[in-house]
Amino acid sequence: MDSGENIEETTTAVDRINQLSDDLLLHILSLMPTEAALVTSALSKRWRYLWKSLDSFSFSTFGNYEWYVSYVDYVLGHSVSPKIKKFQLDSNEPDAYKSDMDRWLSFAIEKKVENLKIQSVSEEEVYALPECLYTCSSLITLVLGFCSFDANVAVAWKSLKSIKLKWMVLSNDHIVNLLSGCPVLETMELSRFKGFSRLEIRSSKLKRLNLIAYNDDELDHSLEIVAPYLQHLEICEILYGFKCRLVDVSSLVNAKLTFEITCIKDIQYLLDEEIDDDEDSCRGYHQGFMILVWDYLQKLSSASKITVGTWFIEVLCMLQFKGVRIPELKCKYLTLELHKKDLMLPSAALGYKIWSKKIISICRDGFQSLCFPTSRMLRLPSPPGYA
């Protein structure tokens, strides 16, 4: 293909793009970082002012401080959109940008922002949320990372349906304030969290709870979950020595428990503490988690779909070895989510034996998911070497 044909194809592609409506072009621009969207103003006369009608913004405050403040001020100062659908603000220096970030958020709130994401990137500098945010009634989804709440300011997010909190320290008062101020909240995700000890969800609207890792490697921390209307629960990744107790999850339909607990000696090593070689201490620590797993099976006995991971299966096998009666599960589908390297371990073999149903094997992302439709009974042989 010669250069003439290349130029002709490029011209044709540009013409096709120019035939699109402004609304469609703005939708395309909204999917790009704001800086990239702004650059399109140099394409032609039609594109010169199109970006000013954007209703989605994504800013990352990295680089020269004065230049970036001027850049964001310029973009927002020339915005003509009456409403903001999405506003994302990432900062590596929230202390330096504090007054500017507060001002930019105030602009988004005045424009009735619906989907908001605010993230700091360092535990050293946590962004304190401005007071004007607590009463933003237009919010539908909210994502916060390395931010801090003021427990003395009441939350009033009357339209909020989904919230994700990452790398945040939350007290029991923060949790109560948050849940009471979000009457239509449907989904809550807490990632790398710490601080609170009780999560009481009384709203019949909130159906889904995801707990992803615990951001504290200290021992003897626990959380009680009281959520009688919750339908979907996921607890995953490393919890260190954190005990998550299910007090009331009587409406649960789907539970995914693929978390991992760290041995007490490994935690002591991480904390640079003197490692306790007392076998009774280690035995008591692990005994507590065996009781916890047994209690999970009791509380989840009526769920229709349950997924468990390698650590859960290993503890279950310890209970089996000790002759403890495993509570009967009434679920329709039981999935063992094991890493491929764990498929031939004794725990996997015993997992087959404990729930000896028909297995449907699905490979994905380095994991092997073994799904047991419990309505069909079929005795399967153990893997070779684990008869």
What is the CB neighbour count within 10 angstroms for residue 348?
22
Does residue 375 lie within any of the structural domains? no
Does residue 85 lie within any of the structural domains? no
> Taking a C-beta distance cutoff of 8 angstroms, is the pair 339, 367 a contact?
yes
Between the CA atoms of 361, 234, 282 and 215, what dihedral angle is there, to the nearest 10 degrees?
Answer: 130
Give CA–CA dist 140/136, Å, rounded. Answer: 10
Q: How confident is the model at residue 141, as a pLDDT?
A: 98
> Taking a C-beta distance cutoff of 8 angstroms, is the pair 350, 317 a contact?
yes
Residue-wise DSSP of 320-380: HHTTPPPPPP--SEEEEEEEGGGTTSHHHHHHHHHT-B--EEEEETTEEEEEEETTSB---
Q: How confident is the model at residue 204, as a pLDDT?
A: 97
Amino acid (one-letter) located at 21: S
Q: How confident is the model at residue 376, as a pLDDT?
A: 34
Q: How confident is the model at residue 53, as a pLDDT?
A: 86
Give CA–CA dist 158/145, Å, rounded. Answer: 21
Q: How confident is the model at residue 377, as a pLDDT?
A: 29
What would the two tokens of residue 31 be?
Answer: 């999917």
Does residue 31 lie within any of the structural domains? no
Enumerate the H helices of the chain as residue ranges.
3-18, 22-30, 34-39, 45-48, 65-77, 94-110, 172-180, 264-270, 279-299, 310-321, 346-354
Global pTM reads 0.82
Q: How confident is the model at residue 362, as a pLDDT?
A: 38
Does residue 120 lie within any of the structural domains? yes
Does residue 351 lie within any of the structural domains? no
- Listed in sequence order, the residues at least 6 apart from 163 whose beta carbon sits closer than 8 Å to its beta carbon are 141, 142, 143, 144, 178, 182, 185, 187, 188, 189
Burial readout 301-336 (b: 16 or more C-beta within 10 A, e: otherwise): eebebbbbbbbbbbbbbbbeeeeeeeeebebebbbb
Does residue 11 lie within any of the structural domains? no
User: Around 48, how many Cα atoms within 13 Å sit in the side-chain half-sphere?
Assistant: 3
Count the domains in the chain.
Answer: 1
Is the CA virtual torsion 105, 108, 110, 115 positive or negative?
negative
Q: How confident is the model at residue 338, as a pLDDT?
A: 72
Does residue 275 lie within any of the structural domains? yes
Domain span at 153? 94-100+107-336
Does residue 263 lie within any of the structural domains? yes
Return averaged pLDDT per consecutive 10 residues of the chain, 387 residues in all: 50 63 80 79 73 90 82 93 95 88 96 96 87 97 96 95 95 96 98 93 97 74 93 88 89 93 52 52 67 89 88 82 80 77 51 44 44 38 35
